[in-house]
Amino acid sequence: MKIFISCDMEGISGITGPDDADPRKEPYKRFQKVMTGDVNAAVEGATLAGADEIVVNDSHDGMRNILIEELSPKAQLISGFTKPLCMMQGIDSSFDLAVFVGYHARAGTAAAVMNHTIFGKEISDVWINDVLVGETGINAGIAGYFGVPVGAVTGDDKVCREATALLGNIETAAVKEGVDRYVAKCLPLEKSRELIKNAVKRAVERRSEFKPLRYQSPTRFKVRFASTTEAAIACLLPIVTMEDSRTVSISSNDYLEAFSTFLGVLMLASTASNETFG
């Protein structure tokens, strides 16, 4: 049985602010170890439920955060950037289930720890077929493209709520309660790891109950940028449509093609980002 784990960092146990997840800042090295521990808890849960192949995709920032020397030997690690499927690199139709560890709520979610969607400064909102989504919804769509359901999500209480609203009765592990964007009431590591392990174990055991998330074709990604300049730069690509001064859209009959174009548009638009104004 094959399990795919996508691991972000903002929803990891104990993380509450930007410095905790920024490789340039002092707290980061400490939280690399915590991140690896959360992943190991998920791997243990999957293994206890019978998984015999587990692939972990490091999905935060430069995607070189998980410490392979401390990672469970039961998992394989995909590390580094850039990746065509970004946070979902490595997923294909051979997997039985996908699990999201350390995820965070979409941009603008009240009292959600480190809430953002892909880029913290540049993006205000993302919609898929007019449904407001965060990274959970975007990445669940990639898994669904390959026929793989998402069975568990871990992070703060707000991303857990976002995930169940979109994906139904999946398993979740809320390792902290968001108070504000950079404030949380955090569980002790021993408790959070137990929650992660048990949630993933139950998800793998229940895998036949979950359905892949498939967005209707044609798929339309719509992005509202923080800056008018970012939207204008994005529209240098002929496939991109300007919706208003800060909002652009991309459509395709193929979800993966729409996602790839969306990702490329974000990379291009980010070159126009300003340190002060976004």
Q: How confident is the model at residue 273 (pLDDT cuts 50, 70, 90)?
A: confident
At 69-110, the pLDDT tens digits run 999 999 999 999 999 999 999 999 999 999 999 999 999 999
Asked if residue 36 lies in contact with residue 70, where contact means CB atoms within 8 angstroms, the answer is yes
Asked if residue 278 lies in contact with residue 241, where contact means CB atoms within 8 angstroms, the answer is no
Tell me what the mean pLDDT of segment 217-243 comes to: 96
pLDDT above 90: residue 274: no
Tell me what the mean pLDDT of segment 121-136 comes to: 97
Asked if residue 258 lies in contact with residue 250, where contact means CB atoms within 8 angstroms, the answer is yes
Concatenate the DSSP letters of all residues of 43-59 into one string: HHHHHHTT--EEEEEE-
pLDDT above 90: residue 272: no
- Domains plus CATH for the chain? 2-119+135-209 (3.40.50.10780), 219-270 (3.30.1360.130)
With CA atoms as reference, report the closest residue to 102 among 215, 228, 5, 179. Answer: 5
With b for 16 or more beta-carbon neighbours within 10 A and e for fewer, the 125-144 pattern comes to bbbbbeebbbbbbbbbbbbb
Side chain identity at 67, as an amino acid letter?
L
pLDDT above 70: residue 247: yes
**C-alpha 197, offset from chain centre:** 19
Please tell me the pTM assigned to this model: 0.97
pLDDT over 90 percentage in the chain:
96
The structure tokens listed for 19 are 């410095």
At 1-49, the pLDDT tens digits run 999 999 999 999 999 999 999 999 999 999 999 999 999 999 999 999 9
pLDDT above 90: residue 120: no
pLDDT above 70: residue 135: yes
Measured CA to CA, the distance from residue 64 to residue 227 in angstroms comes to 29
Q: How confident is the model at residue 278 (pLDDT cuts 50, 70, 90)?
A: low
Helix (H, G, I), strand (E, B) or coil at 255: helix
